[in-house]
Every structure is written in C-alpha cells, then in structure tokens.
Amino acid sequence: MALFGKKKGDNGDEGEQPGSGAFSPEKARVFFDRAKTTHETLNYEYAVTLWLNGLAQDPASQEGFAGFFQSVRAYAEEAGKKATGKDVIKNLQGQGKILKFQQALLSWGLKPESGSATLKAAEASAALGLKETTEILGRQALNFAKREEKPKKDVYVKLLDIFDEAGAFELAVEAGQIAVQLDPSDGQLSAKLKEMLASATIQRGRFEESAGQEGGFRKNIRDLEKQAQLEAEDSIVKTADTKDRILAAKKADYEQRPTDTSAIEGYGRALLDRGKPQDELKGLLLYKKAYEETGQFRFRQRQGEVELRIERRKLRTLRGKLDAKPGDEGLTEQVAKAEADLLDKEIAELRLQIENYPTNLGMKFELGKRLHQKGEHNEAIGLFQKAEEDPQHRRAVLRYKAEAFLAIEWPDEAVTTYRAALDGMADTGSELAMELRYGLMCALQEKADKTRDLDAAEEADRLASEIAMKRFDYRDIVDRRQAVKALIQELRG
C-alpha cells in the first residue's frame, strides 16, 4: 500500500503523490476560492475546471472534491446532453497520473450513476494514494457492483486492490469474499483475501486497543457517532434515506434558530441537495424570507439561483417532450419561448449580482456571454473589455469579444482580437487553439469580402488549409475553403 509518497506506476513511470513536495495547498487555495466565486456567478462549467485544477495542486483535499461535485452536478443539470466536458478537458493543467485522476473524476461527476465511471475514478484515486477519496468512490462502486444482475469477478478483484491501496481492509475483505464466491478455484485470489483478513484484524485490534484505555471505548463510540453524522453530510453521493435524515436534522436546527444565518444556509442546502420540486419551492421561500429579514444579498442571490434552477428543470421537461415528439410545432414554440425566458432571467439575475458585486469580473464575463447569445453585441463587447483584465479567463473572453465584433460586422477588430487570443498560446494543438484559428479564418474571409483585400483572403486560405490538414471534418472547413478559393480567384481576376 502506498500512501503519500512517490510510487512507481504500472508502466514503470514515476508518479508524483500527495506529500511528495510537487503539490501546493497554497496554489490550490487560489483555485478553490476562485471556483467558489465562479460557481456563484452560475458559470458552472468554468467552476468545474477551477476545482479540478485546484485538485491538481492538492489532490487529497476533501473541500476540493466536494466543491467539484457540487459544480459538476450543477453544470450537468444546466447543460443536459450538451454537458460533454470537452471544454473542461482541454483546460486541465495536470499531467500523468494527476491528469488521469482529473479526467476520471470529470467522467464520474457527469455520470455518477455509472458503475464503470465510478470504478475508474476510484482506480485513479487509489493510484495517487488518496485514502478518503478512494474510500468514498470505492464504496459507491461496490454498491453498483452488488446491483448487477450478472456479477463480474474482475470488478470485485479491482475493488479489492483499490481498497487495499486505500487501507480500507474491511471493504477489501467484503469485495474479496464476493470475488472468491464467484471463482472458488482461484488460489491466488484466496491467498490475497487471507492477507486482507489479517490486515482487517490488525486494524480492528488497534481500535479495540484504544477503546480499552480509560474512557477510550465511550469516547470512540461518541467520536464514531459524530463522525458518522459528518460523513453523511459530506458524502458526495448520498442515498435518499441519508438525504432525508440530513434534511430532518437541518430543519430541526433551523426551527430552533430561525434567525441564525448558518442554520438558514444549512437548511437551504439540505433542501436543494434532496432536490424534490417541493424542496425547491421551500428553499425559494426560505431564502426570500431570509433576505427580507436580514437584508444580506447572499440570500437574494441564493433565491435567484433557485428560481433559475426551477426554470431549467421546466425547460428540460419540455425538451424531453419535444425529443419524444420531434417536429411538433406547439412543443417547438414552447421550448423556444422557455429558452428565451430563461435567458432573460439569467441576464436579470446577473445584472443584479453585478450591482452588488461591481468588481467581480467573472460575473461581467457571464453577463457578456448571455447578452452576446441574445444578440445584444454592443453591450456584450463593453463587458468583455472589462472582463479581459482578469488573466484567469482572458483568452476565453477575447474569443467571445472577437465573435461579437464579427457579429456586428467589424472584421478588422475581430481579426485583431483573434490574433491577441492566439498570441503566446502554448498548446497550439488544443481544441481552443483550433476554434481560435477557425474564428480568425472567418474574420479574415469577412474582411477580404468586405474590403476586397487579397492579402486577407490568402491568409484565410492558408489557415483553412492548416485546419483541413489536421481535421478534414472540422465544422464546415471544406465549404469554407472552397468559398475562400473562389474569392481569391475573383479578387485576382
């Protein structure tokens, strides 16, 4: 078992581990604080990226793990089928085992109901020696395995190894016993199970030894009860019963201290965590009342988040109906109206947040994106110009600003902005680099067509050729290149 230290990977590579000196909780703190703020601005996708990059600096952080799961579930809920995580993956800063851990966490976070995704995340966590995270994910993977109609020995063997690395020997025994039942003839597996039984006995013995000290047993029981409650509240994947129990406890606490802000926050989180429609309505009323009584804007912000959450759920329901009846004109109109209404409400909420947090550049970026989406490009450009002062997402802001310039038919400004976004980009093969080059090509094509500029057309042709050589099926690159070729012939003629 390798906990916290360097360890050879399966393929012989040296993998950095938490505690090896390669990580920095201080740098992670910067990412985590930023992620919290970004989540509050409703930019869940970027918040996911920040949480994961924070975990690259401090993989063992349970705060980062829990924060990531909260943001990734909000992102998945908001984006629906569009929540592929492609933009997140291309902005991950980890390498080697850390990158594998980040990618596995993302896949699991987008589909926590997937047994295979949970198992892969547990494996990636175990490879880094992350005891707490591995145990959380491993328990969930074990529960999924038990529900399978046709149990698979290899899954339980993997779980045995995962729990062994995490030092969770009781769980390793549980997984190993099931694996042996599935294949009693595997002598090597039986021997491994005996090792786990011995380790589990030693582990229990240590607990009993401490329990035998003066007051030890009673203290251990009290500590275990308290720890069980805390683990239930902090559990990433909670059962319905657990959520019910937590909600009942938080509700009782709130009823005893209805003016205490921490009790209000705890009750509100528990309502939204369980997430039934009636819970959302109760949470909405709770935050509305808290804002009216305390005047603290954070409660008005929470109220707005719940209102948007309700609207997104309604929109998902309508989209589901339309998927079942494609081409239904009535449903198509309802979906279009619901999308427009949601966009207006998001804009209104972000305007209100910016009034109360005028220095928050992330909120201005989010408002700019939504105004750009609505077609209000001039105001969006002004917001992007302010938001690009923040180096954290400057390149993404420049990309949107360039798109807005192109939308109002200012190709020169779009070209300049795309060049600025590409300047100094280290990973020229990334998806973002491809998008920026494609955008620059479109801007140059627009400029050449509008101003009859042959040099711009020829540069657009070179870019189109580069993109086609790397990704022949990228968007409409084939048609674009043909159009640029025709424009060059026309300008030369």
Per-residue pLDDT of the chain (493 residues; tens, 9 = 90+): 333 333 333 333 444 444 444 678 888 888 998 888 888 777 888 889 999 999 999 998 888 998 899 888 888 877 777 778 888 888 888 888 899 999 999 999 988 888 889 999 999 998 888 888 888 898 888 888 888 878 888 888 888 888 888 777 888 888 888 888 888 888 888 888 888 888 777 766 654 455 445 444 444 444 444 444 544 444 445 566 778 888 899 999 999 999 998 899 889 988 988 888 899 999 999 999 999 999 999 999 999 999 999 998 899 889 889 988 988 999 999 999 999 999 999 999 999 999 998 988 889 999 999 999 999 999 999 999 999 988 777 888 999 999 999 999 999 999 999 999 998 776 666 778 888 999 999 999 999 999 999 999 999 999 999 999 888 888 899 999 999 999 999 999 7
Structure token digits, residue 332:
């198509």
Residue 192 C-alpha from the chain's centroid: 37
Q: What's the CA gap between 102 and 283, in Å, rounded?
A: 32
Q: What's the CA gap between 278 and 284, in Å, rounded?
A: 10
DSSP 8-state secondary structure symbol assigned to residue 8: E
Q: What's the CA gap between 388 and 390, in Å, rounded?
A: 5
**Residue spans of alpha helices (H) in 423-476:** 431-451, 454-470
In terms of Cα–Cα distance, which of 464, 458, 491 is closest to 480? 464
Q: What's the CA gap between 243 and 144, in Å, rounded?
A: 19
Q: What is the pTM of this model?
A: 0.58
DSSP 8-state secondary structure symbol assigned to residue 260: -
Is residue 136 within 8 A of residue 166, CB to CB? The reply is no
Q: Phi, psi (5° rounding) for residue 367?
A: -65, -40
Structure token digits, residue 374:
């609505």
Classify the phi-psi angles of 19: left when phi > 0, otherwise alpha if psi is within -120 to 50, otherwise beta. left
Element (H, E) at 15: strand 14-15
Domains of the chain: 7-225 (1.25.40.10), 409-493 (no CATH)
How far, in Å, are 418, 449, 461, 471, 482 from residue 442 at the CA level?
A: 10, 11, 10, 16, 13
DSSP 8-state secondary structure symbol assigned to residue 22: S
Q: What's the CA gap between 251 and 196, in Å, rounded?
A: 42
Structure token digits, residue 260:
């205490």
Predicted pLDDT of residue 366: 92
Q: What's the CA gap between 400 and 407, in Å, rounded?
A: 10
Q: Phi, psi (5° rounding) for residue 13?
A: -80, 150
